[in-house]
Structure 1
């Protein structure tokens, strides 16, 4: 190999490493002067904009930085929140929503009609759309174009949510209109045809706003109500300088484009001109010397062949002269080639070789130093995540209660990444209120479920540590088992045993799966769940209230055994307390109404939620449903009313009822009615519920056994219609078994029934 070429390659390698370790980016000034504020919170403030009069071009570009909050907020005009200023001529703001709301009796509340008056700014017709939301709504965007007033608008009328499509603004519940070019100084106005009288339950207001299309406004039927709490949506203005064009502006004394700039024509409909830096320059083109030369020689990738030439930066460009020993390639004038070989003396060989060896030593030493610093940084980052994810808090909790806490395995981040194929979407099992659950395969081929929290902030860390503390106190076959956790990642992770058959919610509400869910399986699931909750309330060292009992948090294995999961909102109850005052948490439809109104959490709150779950098992209906009449929307009220009015069998799943289980179903229904009592003191305890369900399930098993026993007996009795067969402990021609004394077999129905014991 040519020694000169080897020498150059080593020099380049060392330069790249040193550049990566210590290079710093060049910052270009953006404000009018060093005394002017160039940033407000997270938003840069480039000239012609400024936060004081002497720092902005004129009043149209004058803004203020509101430092009352954290971070500070950049304000345009009276109260418009500016989120970004682009040198390409765009201004991102949070635009207010126009609203007109009504009370249920049709009385109008004070409307909100936002008005924007900025002559220098034009609504971007390519980045925004005008939206109207409501089922009794019409709205206007009133603006000026070419100094003439101009209005656009649309209307949306619908009688119910039946035809409202989520994810699409079709005109039913939501309509949208394109923005014409050149609109300025606009007003938003939302109105109603019938004061929302007929749709007030799900849509009490009319809404109108201009929204940034890049933010992909995704309409949902919930917006018909929830937008009442929203104040603004992102939108985009176009801005330019003055009213002159690029043909006349450069000849005017007030022309603002600085040196090394070009006059830029804004989009059609936007008055004025813009400035941009010439090629080879970068910076703020509105400053007199804002556009500064870019050193292309420091760019990546390099503009010249670093092996055969060197890079010389010039104003607005660069050159690539050939190195010694190379010459311009006559076939390609922009490249260099090796010159014809010449005799070299020994000194010309020894010097490059010595330099090469020295550079190799420098390279190895620098690489070792770089790798050591990188490992140290990684270690500190993992330590930071450990503390951030509540590792110290968890250690403190474990050390305070070692007698009841089991050792939790600490998994490595790489181990869980490999187990989930780097958290591939195909491994997602489901998403709960506090995170996403992935299916994982450990190195020993053991299937696990890995829960990854959604957020990494202090409000979520307490929920995460709470779930670990709760699960380490539970050792029950019907509670999902915690295998371990991982704290060295940016978001905390929990590792559970893998439950194969999915959630109870899926089995209840999927038509195919529901048809295979027999009464015996449903009674088993209810009994298993009640036993787990009773264990948590009465058998753990510190009582545990789950606080979010629902079918989505009950998993089923291959044998349809129930496994209670998701303890992110659970609470430990000190032994000297019977109730806790907490922030109300849970799922609507399953939430204890007494807890909802009083914030007093008790074990009876889980009893109520369990009652709703069993009501779903019996009826196949959802806890909350808005498809039917209003009286049927809340399953708890609907079920209790049906039991009280002796209408239970009208609302049960059709395939559940048979002559052999009517008694058990009625008993379970009455038990559920007690669980759904509005007052907690009227509900049974979870232990009483579990004992009653155990009794009914034992009776169910006993009757199934007897049904099998009588199969052979009834075969003979049916063939002799004049005889009623009784099992009395001797061989009487019907059976030689004496286990069913006191039962009579009917010739017509072949169903066992108790004898009248009036002997």
Structure 2
């Protein structure tokens, strides 16, 4: 820990000791000293806040007034405004990183609050720059967390004023209950390519409404030092029921006041009841509101009553008398009104039944037409034509109806959810015949790719490889097409490697088997399918396992089309951070060699048992690929291998596999082997272990695939999308929360 960190810890400890000592003598009684100063400069300081002892509720509410400038407690946080609604507006510094400026090269700031929390509804974390990634770190209830965003752009003309979508500016939300944080700023290329119009990166947590992004900020934001920040304040750490048990410390002293729990962390607040206004922390300060004078709510005579009002209708009239209510209506004599009311009631009932019948009929007809509209828009007629001309040994794609899938998932019951992310939700369904399937509901669909989507559905349903999750069909009667896959029973490879419930379940022999099968599946998609298919998101979470631990590669092909639309092309990075080809950040293109790189990360994960994003308190986040390659080069492989496989695996075989993974993780794509070469070499290593006396020629050994014979061919243009930013939230256990 550096000297700065030691000083910060000592300052926090000293402030905590002072607050604890003062709190021991503080009480919830309101101040009786009439000389209490309630202003500092232009700031009004209402109780429970105060500037001197005896004028505030407890030390947490101390305001220090120095040269007519108010500060929170005895620190350096300047106070801008205090609201009895539970909000405190203060100033917060702006972090910056200027790689080419020796005088102000870097300023990473932190904020530590002992009692109050940063408002997660009023503030946002924002980063500015064209070569920037920014991270917030902190603790929540003794648990570490980290979140952040990336902002990249190549020229200032591509920046849109007022938009923090990732081009020049990115934003992300902050977690609930955050009391302390640190903002860290870094750049990818030290601003070497964008320095003429963006010499620095900036990052800050500030009130969302207080900042509106402008392209000029990329050049001259250095002149801005602070921005407003909204804090949520509350009394103590107890809930309302617990606080009310002790009348001497309970803060809601005012008559007609009531208590509410703090929405952002521990503690409670006091509010005046409906119909009253004032300071609920002072006795007799919640005053009755005279609604009759303020809002004039009545059509007739208005009478103010404590906490409310009433409107009086004239004699012979009935109703609430309110302008926004039923008003006043003439009272009809009882006996004369019976036939009239009976006739009106029967007529209304007939009208209601008829209207309901017409309504439900029209609604059903509208629903049918809407399904037909979506079916045509999503290429249903094209798919029907393709299937009518289909000739092949493999069962063609099936077109499911919305009724079938709703029944299979019990109307998409939450208990059927297998997983969900930024692109959609996957449900488990059971079709007639007790056949389990995985049903993927995506969020968006690029309609310009409809023809390509239909061609891919037809193509992918013909893939019959034992290590590829089979696409069974789709439903086109919804706004976004729904895909139906075979259901794989034993979870993901990620879960088997990392979750405690699967600890010790994967031997080295099983890991080698999974690596060989996954490589073979990817090689098949690249080389043996009727049209080459690039996966684009190879990771352990997309490799499924069945009951026999047979690997099944998932989430490829048509699902990639559904997950993109025109509004996302320039804002979403394809693939997952930690597995992503480094060449992608420069070219914006994903190739077959990108899958090879991602597979190299998977093998590294199998060997080390570590996640794609490593995390610890001292070194922060590290990319597993870089960590693994450096360990192999520096001959530190045995130090990073998973303990569960070192004793059972052949060390030479482990080194061979590690060297192959290192080749896959080459920075330049042209230096990586093809996926077919990787599959052949892994299969060769596995065969040598099974038959150590036999020599296997890796150059001629072929990986066997199941190739479906079909006379049907399809034309596909598998496109890619340029992207500029990714927003990723990483917990300190290393789990990737966003994509």
C-alpha distance in 2, partners of 1:319/1:364?
Answer: 29
**Gap change, CA 1:678 and 1:384, over 3 Å in 2:** same
Residue 646 (1) aligns with residue 621 (2) = no
Is residue 685 of structure 2 the alignment partner of residue 685 of structure 1?
no
1:676 maps to what in 2? 665
Contact (CA 8 Å) 1:202, 1:225: kept in 2 or not? no
Residue in 2 aligned with 1:380? 369
- Check if 1:278 corresponds to 2:297: yes
The answer to whether residue 92 in structure 2 is matched with residue 190 in structure 1 is yes
Q: Secondary structure of the equivalent of 2:687?
A: helix
Higher mean C-alpha displacement, 365-374 vs 210-219: 210-219
**Quick check: 1:592–1:608 contact (8 Å CA) kept in 2?**
yes
Q: Secondary structure at the match of 2:440?
A: strand
Following the alignment from structure 1 to structure 2, what is the Cα–Cα distance between the partners of residues 196 and 685?
Answer: 40
Equivalence map 1:156-235=2 (5 Å): 179-181=82-84, 188-191=90-93, 221-222=146-147, 223=174, 224-225=182-183, 228=203, 232-233=207-208
Report if aligned partners of 1:439, 1:450 keep a CA contact under 8 Å in 2: yes
- Tell me which residue corresponds to 1:316: 328
Relative distance call for 1:488 and 1:398 in structure 2 (3 A) is same
Q: What is the aligned counterpart of 1:437 among 426, 436, 457? A: 426
> Is residue 502–residue 557 contact of structure 1 (8 Å, CA) maintained in 2?
yes
2:535 paired residue among 546, 550, 553: 546
Q: Secondary structure at the match of 1:484?
A: strand
Give the conservation status (yes or no) of the 8 Å contact 1:428–1:436: yes
Going from structure 1 to structure 2, the CA distance change for 1:663 and 1:414 (only over 3 Å counts) comes to same
How far off its partner does 1:370 sit?
Answer: 3.6
1:616 is aligned to 605
Residue deviations 1:161-180 (CA, integer Å, cap 9, x gap): xxxxxxxxxxxxxx999954
Q: In 1, distance between residues paired with 2:448 and 2:112?
A: 33
Q: Give the Cα separation in 2 of the matches to 1:481 and 1:155.
A: 62
Whole-angstrom distance in 2 between the partners of 1:192 and 1:231: 9
Cα 1:377–1:204 change in 2 (3 A) is same
Q: Displacement of 1:591 after TM fit?
A: 0.8
User: Does the 8 Å CA contact 1:467/1:567 hold for their aligned counterparts?
Assistant: no
Please report how far the alpha carbon of residue 373 of structure 1 lies from its aligned counterpart in structure 2 after TM superposition.
Answer: 1.9
Q: RCO (CA 8 Å, sep 6+): is it higher in 1 or 2?
A: 2
Aligned length: 472
Q: Secondary structure at the match of 1:601?
A: coil
Distance 1:422-1:688 versus aligned 2 partners, 3 A rule:
same
Partner Cα separation in structure 1 for residue 661 and residue 379 of structure 2: 41
CA deviation after TM superposition for structure 1 residue 431, in Å: 1.8
Give CA-to-partner distance per residue, 1:135-186, whole Å, 9 cap, x none. xxxxx99999xxx9855479799xxxxxxxxxxxxxxxxx9999543999x9
- C-alpha displacement at 1:394, in angstroms? 6.9
Aligned-residue offset at 1:642: 2.2
Does the 8 Å contact 2:64/2:74 carry over to 1? no
Relative to structure 1, the CA distance from residue 206 to residue 383 in structure 2 (aligned partners, 3 Å threshold; closer, same or farther) is farther
- 1:143–1:150 CA contact under 8 A, matched in 2: yes
Deviation at 1:205, TM superposition (A): 6.7
The answer to whether the 8 A contact 1:636-1:676 is kept is yes
CA distance change for structure 1 residues 629 and 365 in 2, over 3 Å: closer, same or farther?
closer
2:460 pairs with one of 453, 462, 471:
471
Q: Aligned partners of 1:142 and 1:401: how far apart in 2?
A: 80
Corresponding residue of 1:67:
none
CA distance, structure 2, for counterparts of residue 230 and residue 207 of structure 1: 13
* Contact 2:396–2:462 (Cα < 8 Å) also in 1: no
Cα 1:612/1:214, change in 2 over 3 Å:
closer
Deviations 1:217-241 (A, max 9, x none): 99863155599377743789xxxxx
- Does the 8 Å contact 2:537/2:595 carry over to 1? yes
Could you tell me how far apart the structure 1 residues matched to 2:380 and 2:489 are?
Answer: 34
Show the counterpart of 2:57: none
Structure-2 change in CA distance of 1:407 and 1:203 (3 Å): farther
Residue 471 of structure 1: CA displacement? 3.2
1:87 alignment counterpart: none
Give the distance between the partners of 2:381 and 2:75, measured in 1 at CA. 55
Task: Give the deviation of 1:602 after TM superposition.
Answer: 2.0
Task: Say which SS state the counterpart of residue 524 (structure 2) adopts.
Answer: helix
Alignment of 1:354-433 (within 5 A): 368-386=357-375, 390-391=378-379, 395=383, 407-433=396-422
- 2:642 and 2:460 map into 1 onto residues whose CA distance is 34
Separation in structure 2 between the aligned mates of residue 684 and residue 314 of structure 1, nearest angstrom? 79
1:509-548 equivalences in 2 (<5 Å): 509-548=498-537
CA distance in 2: counterparts of 1:531 and 1:362, whole angstroms: 68
Cα gap change, 1:273/1:215 in structure 2, threshold over 3 Å: closer, same or farther? farther
Map Cα deviations across residues 428-475 of structure 1 (whole Å, 9 max, x no partner). Answer: 211244111111222321111111224578699999879746733533
Q: How far apart are 1:398 and its partner, in Å?
A: 5.4
How far the C-alpha of 1:216 sits from its partner, in A, is 11
**1:593 and 2:568 equivalent?**
no
Please identify, of 485-494 and 474-483, the stretch whose mean Cα deviation from structure 2 is larger.
485-494
- Counterpart-to-counterpart distance in 1, 2:571 and 2:277: 57
1:641 CA displacement: 2.1
Tell me, yes or no, if structure 1 residue 505 matches structure 2 residue 494.
yes
Q: Which TM-score applies when normalising by structure 1? A: 0.50
User: Structure 1 residues 444, 323: closer, same or farther in 2, change over 3 A?
Assistant: farther
1:683 CA displacement: 1.0
For residues 315 and 583 of structure 1, what CA distance do their matches in structure 2 show?
55
Per the normalisation by structure 2, the TM-score is 0.51
3-state SS, counterpart of residue 606 of structure 2: helix
Which structure would you say has the larger Rg? 1
CA distance in 1, matches of 2:62, 2:397: 60
Q: By how many angstroms is 1:397 displaced?
A: 11
Matches within 5 A, 1:332-347: none
How far apart, in 1, do the equivalents of 2:74 and 2:418 lie? Answer: 42
CA distance in structure 2 between the aligned counterparts of 1:448 and 1:639, rounded to whole angstroms: 37
1:561 Cα deviation from its structure 2 partner: 0.7
Closer, same or farther: CA 357–510 of 1 in aligned 2, 3 Å: closer
Equivalence for 1:482: 471
Further displaced range: 202-211 or 600-609: 202-211
CA distance in 2, matches of 1:480, 1:440: 16
Return 404-413 or 272-281, whichever deviates more: 272-281
Q: Is the 8 A contact 1:608 1:676 kept in 2?
A: yes
